[in-house]
Amino acid sequence: MLLRRSDSKAHVRMNAINKETMEQYFSLLKDVLDEHELYSAPAQVYIIDESGIPFDYKVPNVVAKTGSKKIRYWQSGKKGQATVVACASAVGQAIPPMIIFNAQNLNHAWTKGEVPGTRYGLSNTGWINADLFKGWMVEHFIQYAFPGRPLLLLLDGHSTHYQPDVIRFARAHNIIMLCLPPHTTHESQPLDCGVFKPLKSKWTAVCHTYFQKHPGKVITRFNFNMLFSQAWLKSLIPSNIIAGFKTTGIFPYNPSAISIPTDDTSSDKNDTQPDEQDDDEEELSHGSNGECAMSSSETALDLPSAEGACELQCAELAHELTPANSLHSGELTSQLAG
């Protein structure tokens, strides 16, 4: 027997990982892989996600003298951050990131030291919105994605991902957009499971080294890219990306990769209060603009309001979509809701 620390999650996430939901999801994924012959084409299977990178990072443990009562650490005291949009394929290739700042205009000095090929977005909230996602898809993803077709793009149920113009574009370019089950990204999202944790760990290490070499300095938009590019290049590596796809059972296809909680381990989960850290992670991933399909008041099989809006938008295009492309309209969401 071992004494181990549990991995606490909000009850809505614990409820979402159930046999019925995951069987439906993997069945739909299998249908897509079968129909489009993607079992042996990892370069054509992509995942996208967003995550917030705070300027004031989590302070690490430091060496101090015995008896020290207060250990002070220099930080800016501001709650600024940049939203990073990451996308990678099952073969281990990461396309350059899109970085979103809360600003009206882009100062080119902010781009110094960037990851080559980085795309920039600006919004009032600092989070991704419909226009930014459309620009990413039409101008960025299509530029760096594998030239072969079709492409499978897995993504969460955020409402900004499912606009009529984006769906038409995907259909025209033979891109299949497959929505992950609601509230399951902690288990089904390859970037969450294999990439973002190393990325934020490297970010903390890079920032810590920077502060050691430059006492009194703080992280701002002007030096963000210079530091972030170091963390990105050390964490968005093939081994991490491939491990994320394998852990989530997407590639190689493996429905048993995600363990389903038994009745014994989940019988009391409805009485569990949402974990504060988990809520913070959700906010960093999608912001607090009301568009994120991760409200803790929803049950695993209920359609969140964002996904409901997405479904209504996509219904307008239903008559235009061929059966082979029907997954562009978020068919998985409809199946799970039913």
Token digits for 41? 């084409």
Grade residue 15 by pLDDT with cuts at 50, 70 and 90: low
Interval 70-92 mean pLDDT: 82
Q: Three-state SS for 189? A: coil
Distance CA 114, CA 110 (A): 9
User: Whole-model pTM?
Assistant: 0.76
The DSSP letter of residue 140 is I
Interval 63-83 mean pLDDT: 72
The enclosing H or E element of 255 equals none
Helices and strands, counts by H and E, the chain: 14, 6
From 336, 265, 337, 338, select the one nearest 22 (Cα to Cα).
336
Q: Which residues pair with 277 in a beta bridge?
A: none
Query: Tell me, what's the pLDDT at 72?
Result: 64
Token digits for 159? 């409402």
Token digits for 145? 């994605």
Sign of CA dihedral 193, 29, 139, 238: positive
Distance CA 181, CA 24 (A): 9
Residue 318 scores a pLDDT above 80: no
Residue 298 scores a pLDDT above 90: no
**Angle between the N-to-C axes of helices 305-315 and 164-172, in degrees from 0 to 180, rounded to the nearest 10:** 60
Mode of pairing for the β-strands spanning 45-54 and 81-89: antiparallel
Domain boundaries, the chain: 11-60+72-337
Say which CATH class 11-60+72-337 falls into: alpha beta
